[in-house]
Structure 1
Amino acid sequence: MSVTQAGHAPARARASKRAARDQDPRRTAARSGIPREPDPGEPWPKRMLTSKLFWLSVVMLLVYATCLVLLYRQVVPDRQVPGGKLLGLGTEAIPLAAKYAAVTAIPLSLVFLWADRFRPQRFWIWLMTFGWGACVATFLSAQINSWAASHLSILGDGDPATGARAAIYVAPFVEESTKATVLFWLAILMRYQWVSRLSGIVLAGLSATAFAFVENILYYGRVYRYAAQTFGEVEPEQALQSLFKLRGLMTFFGHPLFTSMTGIGLAVALRSKSKVVRVVAPLAGFCAAAFLHMSFNATATLVSGPSLLFMYLGVAVPAVVALTVFVVRQLFREGRLIRERLTDYVRLGWLPEGDPRDLSRLRTRTKALWHALFLGPAVFLDTIRMQRAMTELAYLRDAMTRGLVDRAGLAREKVLLSRVRSLRGSAVLHPTGRASYPQFRKPAFLDRNDTAGAAWAPPNYPGPAGIGGNFPAPGAPQPGSAPLGQAATQYSEVDPSWKPPGQ
C-alpha cells in the first residue's frame, strides 16, 4: 500500500462511519423532528423516567415555582424605592384580585383550547406554555421594565415603571420578548407538532393570557390597596371594579392579540422550506407584535376623551374581529388540507373513500366522539387515537410534499397506516343515527305492562262493581251505547194472565 493510499484510508473510514450514522433511523427521524415511537413492551415508569421531556418539564416547573415566589416577595410587601414608598398588594387584596382576573383568563384559555381542535397539543405543552407566561414572563418583565425605566430617569409615584416613556418604548419590546421566548423554545423542541398557523395562535394566546392574568392581579391589587389607604375618596372594591371594566372587559384582548402575531410568524417559518422565510417571518411577527403593543400603550397613555373612544371602536375592535375571522378561516382551511392529503391515500387504495370526508369535518369528528363515549372507555380511547393518527398522517403527507420531511417520513407513514388499520375495527369513524344511550329499566310498580296477575280470571258477576259484581253484566250494552235521560228507563213486558197466588 502506498503512502497516499494509507493517508486516504482513515478518511474513507470516517466517511463510511458518517454515512452509517446518517442512515440510522433514529438520527434521521430526529433530523426531521419526528418523535420516537415508545416501546410498548417497556413499563410506563421506565418510559417516563427515561424521557427527556419529562425531566425538562420537572425542571421548568421548579423554575416556574421559583419565579412565582420571587415575584410574590417583590410585590406583596411594602417596599422603599427612590422617591417614596411603594405600596405592596397585601395578603387581603390578592384573593379578590385573582377572582376578578380569572373572569377574563378562564374563558380566553378555553377559547384558545377550543380553536386547537384538529391536532390539539399535549396537555403538558399547554401547561408549560401557560406557566411560562404566568410565572417567568411576568417576573422577567417586571425586573427589566423597572431597570430600563430607572435608567431613563423617569419620575413617577415611586415606581420607576409608571412613566409614559417606559410604557411606550420599553414595555412593548420587553414583554413581547418574554412572552414569545417559550414559543421559540417549543418551535425548536417540537417543530413536528406545529402543523398550522392555528398552532402558533393557540400557544401564543395561552402564554399571553397567562401573562395578562398575573398582570391584572398586580394592577387590581395595587388599585385596591391604594384606595384602601386613601380614606374618603372611593371604596376599594368600587375602584377595583372600575379598573376591571377597563382592563378585564374592554381591553381583555390586548396581550393575546399582540403575541399572536409572533405565533403566526413562527408557524409560517416552520411550514416553509425557504431559508429566507424561516428567518424573516419570525422577526416580522415579533415586530408586528411590538408595534401593536406600542400603539396600544401610546393610545392609552396619551389619548383621552372622544379620540380614545374613536381609536377603540375604529382600530382595536376591528383588529380583534379580523383575528377572529382569520382563525375561523384557518379552521376551514385545515379541514380542506386534511381532506386533500387523505385523498392521496384513497387514490393509492390504502384508505376507504369515506375517511377524508368524515375526518375533515369538525362536526363529524365531534359526533364520532359522542357516539364512542356511550360505547365504553376502550372504544372512546380508540376513537381518539384513530383521529389523531389520521390527522398526523395528513399533516405528514403535507410536510413531505412541501419538502420539510425527508425519507424518515416514509417510516413514520408506515407506522401510522399500521395503527389506523389496527384501530379501524374498534374506533368510530362514520357515526350514523343516534348514539347508543343507556337504557334505564322502570321499577316494577311503574310498569303498566306487568302481566304478573294475568293468571287470575277477572270477576264476572252481575251487579255493581265493588260488591262482588261486574257492572254492566256480561251481554249487557257497553257504557256509552245505552241512551241517556228518560229514554234510558226501560220497562219489562206486562203478562196479562198474571195474578196473585191462590186466586
Structure 2
Amino acid sequence: MLILSSAFAAIIPMMAYLIIIWRFDRYDREPFKLVLMCYFWGAVGAIIFSLIGSFLFSGFISLFASSEQQLDHLGTIVVAPVVEEITKGIFLFVIVANRKFDNLTDGIVYGGAIGLGFGMTENFLYFISYGTTVSDWIAIVIIRTLFSAVMHCVATAIFGAFLGHAKFKGNNKFLLSLTGLAIAIFIHFAWNFSVSFQSTAVL
C-alpha cells in the first residue's frame, strides 16, 4: 500500500507540473513526445548516472573528509549539486541540436521536464523511506512536491534556457552554457545547504 500510495503521490503532481510547463510556450509549443523523452531521462537516465557519479565523486571527496559526518555533509552540499545537474543536463546537450530546440523558452520547457522527472523519482524514493505516521508521510509529500521537486525543475530549466539562448550566439556558446550550468549547480547547492540541517533533512 505504501509503495502504491508513494508512486501515486510522486507521479500525479509531477505530470500536472509537466503539462503546465509544456503549455508555457503558447506560440510554438514543443512536441510532447520530445518533452516526455526529457521527463523520462530525468526520471531514469539521470538518476542512474547520478548514482554512479555520486559514488565515484564521493570516493574522491572521502580523501579529504575528516569524519563520516563531514563526508555526508559534503556529499549533500557539494557532490549532489554538481553530479545531479551535470547528469540532468546531459540530455539537454543531446537535444540542443534538434531544430525544435530553437530559443530560450524551449530550453526552459525541456530543462524543466528533465528536472520534474528527476524530482518524481527522488520523491518516490523519499516517500517510501520516510514518514513513520500517516500525518508525517503526508507532510513529507506536500513539502517535497511543493519545494524539492520544483527546485530540480527550476535549476535544470535555467540551464536549458542558457543553452537555448547560446545556440545562436556564435563564440559565446561555451561561456553561456557554462554559466547556465554554474547557476543551476549554485541553486541546487543553496537549496541543499539550507535543508542539510537535522530539522529539514528529509527535504
Q: TM-score range by the shorter chain?
A: 0.7 to 0.9
The 3-state SS of whatever aligns with 2:30 is coil
Report matched runs for 1:384-399 at 5 Å. none
Which amino acid letter does the alignment assign opposite residue 253 of structure 1?
Answer: V
Report matched runs for 1:427-442 at 5 Å. none
Aligned to 2:174: 279
Alignment TM-score, normalising by the size of structure 2: 0.87
Which amino acid letter does the alignment assign opposite residue 205 of structure 1?
Answer: G
Report matched runs for 1:109-120 at 5 Å. 109-120=18-29
- Whichever structure has more helix as a proportion of its residues is 2
The reply to whether residue 270 of structure 1 matches residue 167 of structure 2 is yes
Q: Distance in 1 between matches of 2:91 and 2:11?
A: 22
The reply to whether residue 300 of structure 1 matches residue 200 of structure 2 is no
**1:124 Cα offset (Å):** 2.5
Q: What's the RMSD between the two structures over aligned residues?
A: 2.3
Q: Distance in 2 between matches of 1:251 and 1:152?
A: 25
Residues 238 and 182 from structure 1, CA distance in 2 versus in 1: closer, same or farther, beyond 3 angstroms? same
Aligned to 1:389: none
Aligned to 1:240: 137
Is the CA contact (8 Å cut-off) linking 2:77 and 2:192 kept in structure 1? yes
Is the CA contact (8 Å cut-off) linking 2:92 and 2:110 kept in structure 1? yes
Q: Distance in 1 between matches of 2:53 and 2:24?
A: 33
Which amino acid letter does the alignment assign opposite residue 153 of structure 2?
Answer: P
Percent of counterpart pairs with the same letter? 25
Is the CA contact (8 Å cut-off) linking 1:134 and 1:214 kept in structure 2? yes
Which amino acid letter does the alignment assign opposite residue 118 of structure 1?
Answer: Y
Residues 93 and 152 from structure 1, CA distance in 2 versus in 1: closer, same or farther, beyond 3 angstroms? farther
Q: Distance in 2 between matches of 1:205 and 1:140?
A: 18
CA deviations on 1:201-223 (whole Å, 9 max, x unpaired) are 00000000000000000011111
Larger Rg: 1
Which amino acid letter does the alignment assign opposite residue 68 of structure 2?
Answer: L
Is the CA contact (8 Å cut-off) linking 1:104 and 1:252 kept in structure 2? no
Which of residues 88, 103, 112 is equivalent to 1:205?
Answer: 112
Aligned to 2:6: 97
**1:101 Cα offset (Å):** 1.2
The 3-state SS of whatever aligns with 1:97 is helix
Residues 217 and 304 from structure 1, CA distance in 2 versus in 1: closer, same or farther, beyond 3 angstroms? closer
Q: Provide structure 2 residue ranges, at least 5 long, that are not aligned to the other structure.
A: none
Is the CA contact (8 Å cut-off) linking 2:119 and 2:150 kept in structure 1? no
The 3-state SS of whatever aligns with 2:102 is coil
Looking at both structures, which has the greater relative contact order when contacts are Cα pairs under 8 Å and sequence separation is at least 6? 2
Q: Distance in 2 between matches of 1:242 and 1:283?
A: 36
**1:126 Cα offset (Å):** 1.6
Residues 194 and 137 from structure 1, CA distance in 2 versus in 1: closer, same or farther, beyond 3 angstroms? same
Alignment TM-score, normalising by the size of structure 1: 0.37
Number of residue pairs matched by the alignment: 196
Is the CA contact (8 Å cut-off) linking 2:22 and 2:30 kept in structure 1? no
Q: Distance in 1 between matches of 2:199 and 2:5?
A: 29
Q: Provide structure 1 residue ranges, at least 5 long, that are not aligned to the other structure.
A: 1-91, 228-234, 306-503
Residues 266 and 136 from structure 1, CA distance in 2 versus in 1: closer, same or farther, beyond 3 angstroms? same
Residues 144 and 195 from structure 1, CA distance in 2 versus in 1: closer, same or farther, beyond 3 angstroms? closer
Aligned to 1:260: 157
Which of residues 95, 98, 113 is equivalent to 1:186?
Answer: 95
